[in-house]
Amino acid sequence: MIELNFAKSADGLIPAIVQDYKTNEVLMLAYINKLAWEETLKTGKAHYWSRSRQKLWLKGESSGHVQMIHEILVDCDDDTVVYKVEQIGGAACHTGYSTCFFRKVKGERLVVEGKKVFDPEKVYKNKI
Amino acid sequence: MIELNFAKSADGLIPAIVQDYKTNEVLMLAYINKLAWEETLKTGKAHYWSRSRQKLWLKGESSGHVQMIHEILVDCDDDTVVYKVEQIGGAACHTGYSTCFFRKVKGERLVVEGKKVFDPEKVYKNKI
């Protein structure tokens, strides 16, 4: 198993940047611990550590929108990774946008640039 | 000034993902606090908070390899940003590679994929 430097942060978590494997668009950022890292390598599906729920989180476990790993990059300090993924369902963000980064800084304002792929109320309504 | 959720983390820092503005390649990840955010917006050059030195860090202040901001994206939770930059000097990583993510997971190993743009010993030798 490739060792990452989880000890770098006080909480044992390091960030995982998630990119679309075709376009290189950044879809989201989430955190991983050793368990999430091992499960990702083992299954080929992106796993994270949910800071709010304090548990292992298979992305897409409630929406079905899992992320299939195509490539993983590790940074020079072993304390950040990039997951290049195929986002099943086309949207990584719980708001229904394809990316969590759907707003752009324009002067003093944030303007929405992305388009909604799904309606979160319909996708999550029976699954929470 | 656009407000970000710095209070989300215990140390008041949130991650900034840095992408090449033309290729969308992820170059590095660093952390920002309110001061670094404000300086970045004000100057158009990427500023971070150095966790090791505990001070404001203008990327490129010693190497001259500054990052000119072309676009900034903010995520759905206001706790992560993407800086799309023009990397002066062609290399974001202190090791001399264009990106900090120059190693790829291949089975049980990490293989180097990137090419060195500069020799760090030459670039930093008189500047530290």
Spatial distance between the Cα atoms of B104 and B26, rounded to a whole number of angstroms: 13
Our measurement of the distance from residue B101's CA atom to the centroid of its chain's CA atoms, rounded to an integer in Å, reads 12
HSE-up (13 A, CA, CB side) for residue A10: 4
A→B contacts (Cβ < 8 Å), by residue, are 1-2, 10, 15, 17, 19, 23-26, 28-29, 41, 71-77, 80, 82, 93-95, 97, 100-105, 108-110
- Report d(CA B91, CA B102) in Å as an integer: 11
Helices (H), A10-80: 34-43
Within 8 A of B107 by CB-CB distance, chain A residues are none
Q: Which residues of A touch B4 (CB under 8 A)?
A: none
Structure tokens at A9: 């942060």
If you count residue pairs, one on A and one on B, with CB atoms under 8 Å apart, how many are there? Answer: 100
Q: A44 contacts in B (CB within 8 Å)?
A: none
Quick: pLDDT tens for B13-59.
Answer: 999 999 999 999 999 999 999 999 999 999 999 999 999 999 999 99
What's the sign of the alpha-carbon dihedral A27, A28, A29, A34?
A: negative
CB contact under 8 A, B77 and A93: no
Question: Residue A11, by phi and psi: left (phi above 0), alpha (psi -120 to 50) or beta?
Answer: alpha
ipTM of the modeled complex: 0.93
Residues 6+ apart with CB under 8 A from A99: A25, A26, A27, A28, A92, A93, A114
Where are any strands of DSSP class E within B3-87? 14-20, 26-32, 47-50, 55-58, 67-74, 81-87
A34-86 tens-digit pLDDT:
999 999 999 999 999 999 999 999 999 988 899 999 999 999 999 999 999 99
Q: What does the alpha-carbon distance between residue B69 and residue B32 come to, in Å, rounded to a whole number?
A: 15
The first and second tokens of residue A15, run together, are: 């960030």
Taking the C-alpha atoms of residue A31 and residue A47, their distance in angstroms, rounded to an integer, is 9
For A9, counting Cβ atoms within 10 Å of its Cβ (0-12 exposed, 13-18 middle, 19+ buried), the class is middle
Give the pLDDT confidence of B62-73 residue by residue, as tens digits.
Answer: 888 999 999 999
H helix or E strand, kind and range, residue A122: helix A120-124
- For A8-32, how does the pLDDT look when each residue is reduced to its tens digit (9 = 90+)? 888 899 999 999 999 999 999 999 9
Distance (Å, whole) CA B79 – CA B4: 6
Contacts of A29 in chain B (CB under 8 A): 15, 17, 75, 80
Write down the pLDDT at residue B126.
53
d(CA B90, CA B87): 5
